[in-house]
Amino acid sequence: MVVPKQNKSHKARITEASKVSRTLYYIKFKPETVFESKPGQFVSIFCPDHTLRRPFSIASLENNEIGVLFKKKGSGTEYIAGLKTGDTIDFLGALGNGFKFDINKKSLLIGAGVGVAPVYYLQTEIQNAGGNSRLIAGFMSKDEIPSNLSFDEVCTNDGTFGLKGSILDYVEQEIETYKPDVIYSCGPHIVLQKISETSQKYNIPCYVALEKVMACSIGVCRGCVIKLQKNGKIVNASVCQDGPVFKGDEIVWQ
Amino acid sequence: MAVDLSVNKGKLKLKNPILTASGTFGYNFEYGRFVNVASLGAIVTKAISLEPRPGNDWQRICETYGGMINSIGLENVGIKKFIEEKLPFLIKGNVDFIVNLAGASIDEYVQLAQICEANNINAVELNVSCPNVKSGCLEFGTDETVLHNLVSQVREVYSGCLIVKLTPNVTSVEKIALAAQDAGADAVSAINTVKGLSVKIRYINGKFQKETVQGGLSGKAVKPIALGVVNRISQVLDIPIIGIGGIYSLDDVFEFLSVGADAVQIGTANFTHPDISERLIEELKDFMESNGFQSLNELKEKLRGE
């Protein structure tokens, strides 16, 4: 098998498609060629009759099968949710920078909602490499928890499963008991901002994976640009190419 | 027998008629992992201004039915960095390219054109139609007197192929196109994006949430507008026309050639299918070979019923 240049457009066959909670879907697909990726990287799936591809964090990669967890948000994800085993898709990837991790460091992983996807993949990779990590996940309610993924701790806003309350209510507690060297997170913008602020308070480096509407997904169109503060200067960074993983304290949150 | 795909009309000389549009293809080899960039008729660089520009804040793009709206705000590295860091790769990689220029005043365009002249850049495309930037850009392409003045002054300092990219957001595009031609433009490209607004409303927890993106509409949805513009200006112009707007297939290319385009630019489609530009060249070549067309000119004549 020839290893292709990463980021070429690939054809892949859906090997699994299921609804894993009231709001979340999971598909697995197998490209024709060898696929390599890092946690935090994403794939961009072509949706017929749509101008823009849809980007998704990779949630798993096993036996050359890529797993993606997603929520139906509009007609693009509607199409993907309708895919069945055996169907073919066209995707780009793996794209973006991904999380850098060190197995000698204690890593606290925090996922909120569909944002559990990249940190779940990160947990798998850290643990496969023999590192020490702890993954906590927050959902609105029990019926939103994906049935195919497991977490070290779960909280629900309505208290129907695990700890009651927002994931943000537990970040400080987790930091104090688990004593992580580094924090990784993905979830809604506001949640990431708060987690980043809390990490700064404890002086723990924090890396977050951001989500943004993308057009080219390779840094060209400048559609998904955010602002970073680096060495006292404000600079632009594209979520697709320079990210989606950024150091929390460098992001100009807005 | 090899078919002749070349375009050779005045100063517009291209090895084939498939170009990539400004803002959708970067500065040089960003798409190198998808296509052989040197095989393209030309790439048109991202719009370049005299000074680097940070672009607009926050939500810059949004998908719409049949297309997308962008409000990037001309984020770019500026001409100095382009010349120093991007241009050498274009030259070394044997890429045919056109530098898209955006100025906030006539003086800025002139300075940009002088820099291009001094660096032996063969072709420039004046962005006189970007609807995103509040200061300047829109006026140049919407007023024939102002545009004539601008193009004349650039013409005085620039000897290469001077292309003017037209905006569709005008009452009489023929008048604007004629002003460009009279002022010495070697070609026009049409169209730039169409002004539009996307509004998305969600009802969450008893409240309406509204998300808007105001900017330029592009993609399949604008193709009829672009064809209309190309058709209209081709009735009045002698200089060549480069058609742009929603081109996703060889049929789309034929449609533009049939109404008077001499070449085309692929824009938004690069986002959907990053390898489309090179694929269209292959498809065009295959079509011509299997149907006995020896040159692009012959194909154009047949398409136009000449």
**Strand A9-19 and strand A88-95: pairing?**
antiparallel
In tens, the pLDDT along A40-96 reads: 999 999 999 999 999 999 999 999 999 999 999 999 999 999 999 999 999 999 999
Class of domain A99-209: alpha beta
Distance from CA of B279 to the nearest CA of A (A): 13
In tens, the pLDDT along B181-207 reads: 999 999 999 999 999 999 999 998 899
B199 touches chain A (CB under 8 A): no
Query: Of the residues B116, B130, B137, B161, which is catalytic?
Result: B130
CA B28 from chain center: how many Å?
Answer: 15
In tens, the pLDDT along B247-299 reads: 999 999 999 999 999 999 999 999 999 999 999 999 999 999 999 999 999 99
Q: Can you tell me the mean pLDDT for A134-144? A: 97
Searching chain A, which residue's CA lies closest to the CA of residue B23?
A: A221
Q: Which residues pair with A27 in a beta bridge?
A: A17, A68
pLDDT at B102 > cutoff 80: yes
B65 touches chain A (CB under 8 A): no
CATH number of A9-95: 2.40.30.10
Q: Can you tell me the mean pLDDT for A136-164? A: 97
Confidence at residue B139, expressed as pLDDT on a 0 to 100 scale? 75
Asked if residue A217 lies in contact with residue A95, where contact means CB atoms within 8 angstroms, the answer is yes
Q: Can you tell me the mean pLDDT for A31-42? A: 95
What whole-number distance in Å separates Cα of residue B152 and Cα of residue B147? 8
Longest dimension (CA), chain A: 51
Point out the residue among B33, B64, B271 whose CB comes nearest to the CB of A221: B271
In tens, the pLDDT along B39-77 reads: 999 999 999 999 999 998 878 999 999 999 999 988 999
Mutate to test the interface with A, among B61, B204, B275 (most CBs of A within 10 A): B61
* The 3-state secondary structure of chain B, one letter per residue: CCCECCEEECCEEECCCEEECCCCCCCCCCCCCCCCHHHCCEEECCCECCCCECCCCCCCEEEECCEEEECCCCCECCHHHHHHHHHHHHHHCCCCEEEEECCCCHHHHHHHHHHHHHCCCCEEEEECCCCCCCCCHHHHHHCHHHHHHHHHHHHHHCCCEEEEEECCCCCCHHHHHHHHHHCCCCEEEECCCEEEEEEEEEEECCEEEEEEEEEEEECHHHHHHHHHHHHHHHHHCCCCEEEECCCCCHHHHHHHHHCCCCEEEECCHHHHCCCHHHHHHHHHHHHHHHCCCCEHHHHHHHHCCC
**Nearest to residue B128, comparing CAs of B180, B90, B85?**
B180
Extents of the domains making up chain A = 9-95, 99-209, 212-254
- Sign, Cα dihedral of B181, B183, B186, B192: negative
pLDDT at B132 > cutoff 80: no
**Nearest to residue A187, comparing CAs of A158, A207, A215, A173?**
A207
| Contact check, Cβ <8 Å, B219/A53 | no
Q: Which chain A residues are Cβ-neighbours of B220 within 8 angstroms? A: 51
| Alpha carbon distances (Å) from B94 to B40, B43, B88, B292 | 11, 12, 10, 30
Contacts of A48 (CB under 8 A, 6+ apart): A79
Q: How confident is the model at residue A9 (pLDDT cuts 50, 70, 90)?
A: confident
Distance from CA of A251 to the nearest CA of B (A): 13
| Contact check, Cβ <8 Å, A215/B271 | yes
| Contact check, Cβ <8 Å, A220/B55 | no
Q: Which chain B residues are Cβ-neighbours of A224 within 8 angstroms? A: 60-61
Across A206-228, b (16+ Cβ under 10 Å) vs e yields: bbbbbbbbbbbbbbbbbbbbbbb
Per DSSP, helices labelled H in A102-218 are: 116-128, 171-178, 189-201
A77 touches chain B (CB under 8 A): no
Extents of the domains making up chain B = 7-57+73-194+218-303
- According to CATH, the topology of domain B7-57+73-194+218-303 is TIM Barrel (3.20.20)
Confidence at residue A254, expressed as pLDDT on a 0 to 100 scale? 81
Q: Which chain A residues are Cβ-neighbours of B202 within 8 angstroms? A: none
Asked if residue A44 lies in contact with residue A95, where contact means CB atoms within 8 angstroms, the answer is yes
What number of C-beta contacts closer than 8 Å exist between A and B? 84
pLDDT at A5 > cutoff 60: no
Searching chain A, which residue's CA lies closest to the CA of residue B200?
A: A74
Q: Which chain B residues are Cβ-neighbours of A253 within 8 angstroms? A: none
Confidence at residue B205, expressed as pLDDT on a 0 to 100 scale? 87
| Contact check, Cβ <8 Å, B68/A9 | no
Confidence at residue B1, expressed as pLDDT on a 0 to 100 scale? 61
In tens, the pLDDT along B207-251 reads: 999 999 999 999 999 999 999 999 999 999 999 999 999 999 999
Distance from CA of B34 to the nearest CA of A (A): 6
Confidence at residue A81, expressed as pLDDT on a 0 to 100 scale? 97
What whole-number distance in Å separates Cα of residue A251 and Cα of residue A190? 12
pTM metric for this prediction: 0.94
Strands (E), chain A: 9-19, 24-31, 42-45, 54-57, 60-62, 65-71, 88-95, 107-112, 133-139, 153-156, 163-164, 182-186, 206-209, 225-230, 233-238, 245-247
Confidence at residue A8, expressed as pLDDT on a 0 to 100 scale? 64
DSSP code, position A70: E
Confidence at residue B135, expressed as pLDDT on a 0 to 100 scale? 47
B211 touches chain A (CB under 8 A): no
Confidence at residue B46, expressed as pLDDT on a 0 to 100 scale? 96
The domain A212-254 having CATH identifier 2.10.240: the answer here is yes
Cα atoms in the Cβ-side hemisphere of radius 13 Å centred on A158: 7
pLDDT at B131 > cutoff 80: no
Distance from CA of A5 to the nearest CA of B (A): 7
B72 touches chain A (CB under 8 A): yes
| Contact check, Cβ <8 Å, B58/A254 | yes
Asked if residue A51 lies in contact with residue B220, where contact means CB atoms within 8 angstroms, the answer is yes
Q: Which chain A residues are Cβ-neighbours of B24 within 8 angstroms? A: 216, 220-221
DSSP 3-state of A124: helix
Q: How confident is the model at residue B118 (pLDDT cuts 50, 70, 90)?
A: very high
- At residue A233, what are phi and psi to the nearest 5 degrees? -115, 145
Point out the residue among B23, B67, B273 whose CB comes nearest to the CB of A221: B23
Burial of A201 (0-12, 13-18, 19+ CB in 10 A): exposed
Note if B62 is an active site residue: no
pLDDT at A168 > cutoff 90: yes
Asked if residue A39 lies in contact with residue A98, where contact means CB atoms within 8 angstroms, the answer is yes
A221 touches chain B (CB under 8 A): yes
pLDDT at B134 > cutoff 50: no
Distance from CA of A52 to the nearest CA of B (A): 6
pLDDT at A4 > cutoff 60: no
Q: Which residues pair with A163 in a beta bridge?
A: A155
Q: Which residues pair with B198 in a beta bridge?
A: B213
Searching chain B, which residue's CA lies closest to the CA of residue A224?
A: B60
Asked if residue B154 lies in contact with residue B140, where contact means CB atoms within 8 angstroms, the answer is no
| Alpha carbon distances (Å) from B108 to B10, B13, B49, B115, B130 | 26, 27, 8, 11, 15
Q: Which chain A residues are Cβ-neighbours of B266 within 8 angstroms? A: none
Distance from CA of B247 to the nearest CA of A (A): 12
